[in-house]
Structure formats: structure tokens, C-alpha cells
Structure 1
Amino acid sequence: MTENLPPKKDEHPLFEPFAQLMNNMNRLFSDRPDKNFLQSMDDFFIHSKPFGGFVAELKENEREYIVQAQLPGTKKEQINIEILPQYITITVNHRESVTKEDKANTVIQKRESWKQSSRTIPFSKPIDQGKVVANYEDGVLTVTVPKRKGKKISIE
């Protein structure tokens, strides 16, 4: 009977990008009424990225894969790379705190946000996990992932 029902939200990876969009929409309509509505709309459209927060590109040659991720404004400490047998996951954690004060240094508004974006890049061939190298320069993360070489055997 349950085979005809659509998958639950947390059961399918395609729903993950939309979860952030739904959270942003919920936050838009649940903010305090005294907050400027136009500011809420601006925040919603600026911070809503339904398919994640960064672009990752995969290039391949006969020896290696090269993954480049555009991460402008991201600090090296905010980036995590997880290497598994046939794919890597790049995760960026961003925490922001904004405080507005009046002339008497009384806090008028304080807002904290935490965002995590990730990309998982699969490889068509096995990789050499021990020789993966990552470099981060000028907002571009470059991960060089060597392919694992097969072993030749002789025929008896």
C-alpha cells in the first residue's frame, strides 16, 4: 500500500535543496510584525538558493580528476573536504552575526545565522585517496584527485 505514496521529505536527496527554500519562506512569514516587510523580502531573495550555495566544476584527464569550486568570501577554515572511495564531498560552514545598535549603544536588533552548503562529486573510476591534494586561493578551491591505477597480471 505504501509503495504508491511519494517518498517522505527526508528520504530523497532531491528534496534537500528545497528544504532550505522552505525554511527561508517560513522565516519570511514568521518574523515579528515590527520588522520592515520590504527588508524581509530582500533577505528572502538574497539568501534563498534552492540548489545550494556554490558552483563546483569537474574536469578529467587520463591521470586525475580536478574539482574546482567557486567560494568567494569563504575562509579556508570554513571548508571541509571528505574523501571516500569514489567521490568527495565539499562542505562550507558559514556563521554570521549582525547586531544593530542605536546611538546609546542599546541593541535594537540582533540576528545570527548559520548556513551549511555542500556538494558531492562522484567519480566514474576509483581514486587514490592517499594522494588527494587541495589548494584554496583567491576564492577558488582546487582539489586534485589522482585516479587509482589498475594492476596488470600475467596470464599463465
Structure 2
Amino acid sequence: MLMPSIFGTNMFDDFMEPFENSLWTNGLMSTDVKENDNNFEIAMDLPGVKKEDIKAQLNDGYLTIEASSKSKKDEKDENGNYIRRERYTGKARRSFYVGNQITQEDIKAKFEDGTLTLLVPKKEEKAQVEQKQNILIED
């Protein structure tokens, strides 16, 4: 039997609430990747995140998106006294291999209504020609 709580339906709800409000369970960074004729379209949900809190980097063929989120929740009674006060700060990061042929200038990004959309062009990986090199063996 669960005990009643002054903050929610029961004590278990209050215990689980911090986990329910985490970056991952609120849909932050849920990603859809769609392949088109000439590019890949990456749509990433970033609810409650501001544009200035998003960083996209391309390094060694990996596109990395990092987002940070901060929230503050105050509940007061009719006299203005706090009955609950919570703060949350967190970061999340996702990486995608896009290939070494892609440059920063090739990727187009747009942030609108809590969704980050990136267009990554398709580029063929150039196959590296294996060259045989003889090793000199001394007498």
C-alpha cells in the first residue's frame, strides 16, 4: 500500500517525478532521420530548449548536437510561502556519423518551434586505393 502525499497522488508519484522530468523522458533529443534523394534530414525534438543553448559541431566525420536545459518550478500558497521549489539543469548529447567528405558549410540547420532540423547532403565516400609498398630487407 502506498502512502498519501501532500504533493501528489501518492508518495511513489513524488519519488518518480524527478525521473519523469529528465531530459530523456520529456522527449528531448528524440530524433527522426529521413533519407531523401540528395540528403538526409535529421529532425530532433528539443522542447523547452532555447536556440542559444544548442551547439552543433562537426569533428572527424561525426556531427554532434549538444543541448542544455534549465527549469525552475515554484509553488506557493495563498500567503506567498513556498510549499515546493524545484530546479533542474541538465545536458544531453547525440552524435551521428556523417562521413569525412562532409564539411561544416555543407550542413544546413534550422531551429523552429522546439525542433532542430539539419540537412546533411549525401556524398559518396571516396574509396581509398590500397597501394602496395615494398619494405626493403637488408642483407
TM-score band, normalised by the shorter chain? 0.5 to 0.7
Q: Which residue of 2 aligns with 1:132?
A: 107
Identity of aligned residues (%): 26
- Residue number in structure 2 paired with 1:46: 20
Question: Judging changes above 3 Å, is the alpha-carbon distance between structure 1 residues 44 and 72 closer, same or farther for their aligned structure 2 residues?
Answer: closer
Alignment length (residue pairs): 118
Query: In structure 2, how many angstroms separate the alpha carbons of the residues matched to 1:57 and 1:83?
Result: 19
Which residue in 2 is equivalent to 1:117? 92
**Could you tell me how far apart the structure 2 residues matched to 1:82 and 1:147 are?**
18
TM-score for both structures, normalised by structure 2 = 0.64
Deviations 1:53-101 (A, max 9, x none): 3212334456443322122343322322122231111112110111122
The residue that corresponds to 2:32 in the other structure is 57
Residue 148 of structure 1 deviates from its aligned partner by 5.8
In structure 1, distance between residues paired with 2:35 and 2:60: 17
| Matched letter for residue 32 of structure 2 | E
Work out the CA distance in 2 between the residues paired with 1:68 and 1:132.
13
Unmatched segments (≥5 aa) in structure 2: 127-139
Residue pair 2:28, 2:47 contacting (<8 A) in 1 also: no
Q: In structure 1, how many angstroms separate the alpha carbons of the residues matched to 2:107 and 2:79?
A: 53
- Report the structure, 1 or 2, having the larger strand content: 2
Q: How does 1:1-156 map to 2 (within 5 A)?
A: 37-44=11-18, 46-47=20-21, 49=24, 53-60=28-35, 63-146=38-121
* TM-score, scaled to structure 1: 0.58
CA contact (8 A) 1:128 1:146 kept: no
